[in-house]
Amino acid sequence: MTTITDILATMDYGPAPEDTGIVTDWLERHSGGFGHYIGGAFTKPGKTFDTINPATGGTLAKVTQGTQSDVDAAVRAARAAQPKWAALSGHERAKYLYALARHVQQHARFLAVLESLDNGKPIRESRDIDVPLVVRHLYHHAGWAELMEDEFPGTAPVGVCGQVIPWNFPLLMLAWKIAPALAAGNTVVLKPAEYTPLTALAFAGIASECGLPKGVLNIVTGDGETGAIITGHKDIDKVAFTGSTEVGRLIRRQTAGSGKSLTLELGGKSPFVVFADADLDAAVEGVVDAIWFNQGQVCCAGARILVAEAVAERFETLLKARMAQLRVGDPLDKSTDIGAIVHPVQLDRIRELMDQGVAEGAKLFQGTAPEGCFYPPTLATGVEPASVLATEEIFGPVVTLTPFRTPADALALANNTRYGLAASIWSENVNLCLDIAARIKAGVIWVNCTNVFDAGAGFGGYRESGFGREGGREGMAAYITPPRQKAKKPETAPAAPEAAPRTDGAAEGIDRTAKLYIGGMQARPDSGYSYSVNGPKGGIGLAGLGNRKDIRNAVEAANKAGAWGKATGHNRAQVLYYLGENLSARAAEFEERLRSFGTGKGKAAEEVETAIRRCFWYAAQADKFDGAVHQTKSAHVTLAMHEPLGVIGIACPLAHPLLGLVSTVLPAIAMGNSVVAIPSQIHPLAATDFYQVLETSDIPDGVINIVTGPRDDLARTLAQHDDVQGMWYFGTAEGCRMVETESAGNLKQTWIEDGAERDWIGTGGQGRIFLQRATQVKNIWVPYGE
């Protein structure tokens, strides 16, 4: 028997089991299996599969595998409910979200226990982190519902949303998905992960309890096949997915060209950077929260410790000592630090990756773990930057440790990943922290803290970690749409440009063939060919016939112009004002050029005048479209910074040969991007005339590159290019599909539209939406005080 003296001598914890009675009673009542929640009621169970308690291997419940007809029924219910839900006042919708928040609070203990049983996470976490964050998220979004008309005037909900979520934070991911969707007036069909469907089903019951109108929220359970039926469903307007990058890429291809909007929150391999002057004890505690939180099954887990060489040894010793104290075991024990891995399949995956890592030379230091679906906390050293442990998302309690010499080395190692979800930086020198924070390519940066979340700040990644944000104002933007006019007549593809031999006019001593514009210089096309440009009365000139090679050169030039992104807004504004002045000085020439395409006198003058005004408008915005400081946790500032995407490929609309170029290129460069633009294929000569404006302006070389030629072929090369981070395409429906499909490679952000849809002369051709598309938000968390 343990005596008080023993306890004092060892300072060990005794077991403190959570009572699971109310949950086991509930499961008992549903021993016949769960159906789906569709149209406000549970369906009869269909073909079921078991969901297990990973800590014991025991079956918790039987859950229905969703079929095509189940998904059809759910989508129908959501479609039918959507107009009425959207027609409610924001205040009415807010009341439902408040009610959901309050009822979750009332059932908090039940939900926490159920979550820990189904997922294996420690009750301490589900009780103190997951469920409180769910409540916070629902309250926060009740607020957005209330404020919709004031804060997002003139927008509409997207419609019916298909949402597929993972198993690592089952209820929290549900809240992240449904709260903004419902607040904005959308309805939802959501599929929880097959390993962890139970809290979503319990939540469906809570929705009924709150009297949420039928069909507003529908839950369909099932595996990846059911997920694919939802994400591919023809009557869904928006898909939101959180899960593996592999599946995210599949969904990108599946939804390409369907007109569905898409947000993806995918994997990560986040760096945890410890500088020599960091508070090492605090940083060690940080590692515990970074990688041993939720068994390391966290998309933003700090999985790669990068530590300054000077303190690496001491840090490793401290860390190992701390690892020895971590308690791995029963998730329902309140003193457990690390619970069970979600499923034996996931445990096998971790083991397989670790075996590979060891074969590649990694050395492991491990804590202890009980038999069963558990994995010990693990520190891997001797890990080469290109090895599997340094590059693959392990999604388990495994962290690598790599020493570095200088801050520049740390930065290079931190960014040496295809992901870009999060990073954590530890140093007592705030200047250094903020400098590194600005330069790490990731959507969330924690300074001297880690894994801090709040509904008031956006969460989401750069690069192959996906696109779109969840939380805060940024997150709401993913669930609303500005008013759109359907094109009266969709754009048809222009005929392929016919190659004509170059007529350099050597004999006449003049060069009549317009060239390309790459790296600040006029360049001959690689093909050596031109194509004929026609006006109403036949040929009016020749433009360079650009090809893949020209696009690659242009992308290289654009990447070299990266310093533009670091210039001040004021600096960029000056450059854009001057560009406007130069354009204005040549207004008559441009009018003449537009008229040669058959544009009437008044229209030509209007197009040139509008283009000049847009230079000034985006110059004005260059230092004003800035970020925000979010209200999140106490004693934290959360800085939401707008950052450029990097290189944006732009396929300009066919119509408005000058304005189509100016209206797309300017917002992109005003925000610090560099661009590779493909001007109107049929009338490229306004763009080639524009070279002279560029040459007399102060735009640094490589910031604007222009390649004329077959639009869709050139756009394909841009979409496939891994060094292009964004792709805008205004063209045919077929081209839209192609661009979205080809962009799946590096998961670049896309903006596609029918080229005939936008009113380029009017308000549709200018606005904050262009600036939003040209930026991504980085949230930097900086705690202050003791």
Is 434 strand, coil or helix? helix
Instruction: Examine residue 54 and tell whether it contacts ligand NAI (CB under 6 A).
Output: no
Q: Tokens 């544009």 label which residue?
A: 599
344 binds ligand NAI (CB under 6 A): no
| DSSP H helix total and E strand total for the chain | 27, 33
Q: How many CB atoms lie within 10 A of CB 568?
A: 11
How far is Cα 490 from Cα 695, in angstroms, rounded to an integer? Answer: 36
Q: Pick the closer one to ligand NAI by CB: 129 or 583.
A: 129
Would you say 472 and 640 are in contact if contact means Cβ atoms under 8 Å apart?
yes
* Between 228 and 236, CB nearer to ligand NAI: 228
Q: What is the nearest approach in angstroms of ligand NAI to the Cβ of residue 593? A: 49
Nearer to ligand NAI, 193 or 477 (CB): 193
- Mask for 176-205, x = binds ligand NAI (CB under 6 A): ---------------x-xx-----------
Q: Which amino acid is at 221?
A: T
Residue closer to ligand NAI by CB (options 349, 560) is: 349
Does position 251 interact with ligand NAI (CB under 6 A)? The reply is: yes
Name which of residues 140 to 169 contact ligand NAI (CB under 6 A): 164-168
Cβ atoms of 559 and 552 within 8 Å: the answer is no
Query: Closer CB to ligand NAI, residue 277 or residue 289?
Result: 289
Per-position b or e across 73-83, b if 16+ CB within 10 A of its CB:
bbbbbbbebbe
Among positions 286-325, residues that touch ligand NAI (CB under 6 A) are 299
Among positions 394-453, residues that touch ligand NAI (CB under 6 A) are 395
**Which residue minimizes CB distance to ligand NAI?**
227
- DSSP string covering 404-418: ESSHHHHHHHHT-SS
Residue 35 Cβ, how far from ligand NAI at the closest point, in Å? 18
Residue 313 known to be catalytic: no
Using CB under 6 A as the binding rule, whether residue 247 contacts ligand NAI is answered as yes
Strand-pair partners of 189: 162, 218
Sites for ligand NAI among residues 267-286 (CB under 6 A): 267
> Does position 244 bind ligand NAI by CB under 6 A?
yes
Closest contact distance (angstroms) between CB of 501 and ligand NAI is: 49
Cβ atoms of 728 and 651 within 8 Å: the answer is: yes
**Which position has the token pair 């989508």?**
75
Q: How far is the CB of 338 from ligand NAI (least distance, A)?
A: 17
CB of 231 to ligand NAI, least distance (A): 5
Q: What's the min distance (Å) between Cβ of 632 and ligand NAI?
A: 21
Cα–Cα dist 568/578, whole Å: 16
Q: Identify which range of 71-79, 176-184, 237-245, 309-317 contacts ligand NAI by CB under 6 A.
A: 237-245
Q: Under the criterion CB under 6 A, does residue 464 sit at the interface with ligand NAI?
A: no
Which residues is 156 bridged to in the sheet?
Answer: 481
Query: In Å, how far are 29, 619, 654, 709, 738 from 713, measured between CA atoms?
Result: 60, 32, 15, 8, 10
How many CB atoms are closer than 10 A to CB 274? 29
Tell me the number of residues near ligand NAI by CB under 6 A.
26
Nearest to 362 by CA among 314, 394, 325, 402: 402
CB of 425 to ligand NAI, least distance (A): 21
For ligand NAI, the binding residue among 231, 599, 638, 743 (CB under 6 A) is 231
Does 520 interact with ligand NAI (rule: CB under 6 A)? no
CB of 24 to ligand NAI, least distance (A): 25
What's the maximum distance between 2 C-alpha atoms anywhere in the chain?
106
- Choose between 246 and 723: whose C-beta lies nearer to ligand NAI: 246
**Residue number with CB closer to ligand NAI (193 or 212):** 193
* Side chain identity at residue 410, one-letter code: A
227 binds ligand NAI (CB under 6 A): yes
What Rg, from alpha-carbon coordinates, does the chain have? 28
Q: Which position among 266, 389, 449, 514 is part of the footprint of ligand NAI (CB under 6 A)?
A: 266
Shortest Å, Cβ 16 to ligand NAI: 30
Site for ligand NAI in 359-388 (CB under 6 A): none
| CA–CA distance, 418 with 400 (Å, rounded to integer) | 17
| Minimum gap (Å) between residue 444 Cβ and ligand NAI | 13
Q: Token digits for 183?
A: 């607040």
Q: Does 264 interact with ligand NAI (rule: CB under 6 A)?
A: no
Q: Where are the alpha helices (DSSP H) in 11-65?
A: 21-29
Distance CA 46, CA 757 (A): 44
Which lies closer to ligand NAI via its Cβ, residue 113 or residue 236?
236
Residue owning tokens 């860390």 = 319
Looking at residues 386 to 405 of the shown chain, list those that interact with ligand NAI (rule: CB under 6 A). Answer: 393, 395
**Coil, strand or helix at 499:** strand
User: In 3D, which of 717, 583, 593 has the Cα closest to residue 651?
Assistant: 717
What does the alpha-carbon distance between residue 524 and residue 543 come to, in Å, rounded to a whole number? 10
Query: Among 117, 188, 228, 291, which residue interacts with ligand NAI (rule: CB under 6 A)?
Result: 228
Q: Using the rule CB under 6 A, which residue among 72, 151, 223, 360 binds ligand NAI? A: 223
The least CB distance from residue 352 to ligand NAI, in Å, is 10
Q: CB–CB of 180/479 below 8 Å?
A: yes
Interface stretch with ligand NAI, choices 37-45, 104-112, 219-227, 284-292 (CB under 6 A): 219-227
Choose the binding region for ligand NAI from 54-62, 227-235, 400-408, 768-776 (rule: CB under 6 A): 227-235
Q: Catalytic one among 18, 115, 265, 316?
A: 265
Residue 742 CA to residue 447 CA, distance in Å, equals 36
The beta-strand segments (E) located in 58-101 are 59-64
User: Contact positions toward ligand NAI, by CB under 6 A?
Assistant: 164-168, 191, 193-194, 223-224, 227-228, 231, 242-244, 247, 250-251, 266-267, 299, 346, 349, 393, 395
Q: Which residues are catalytic?
A: 265
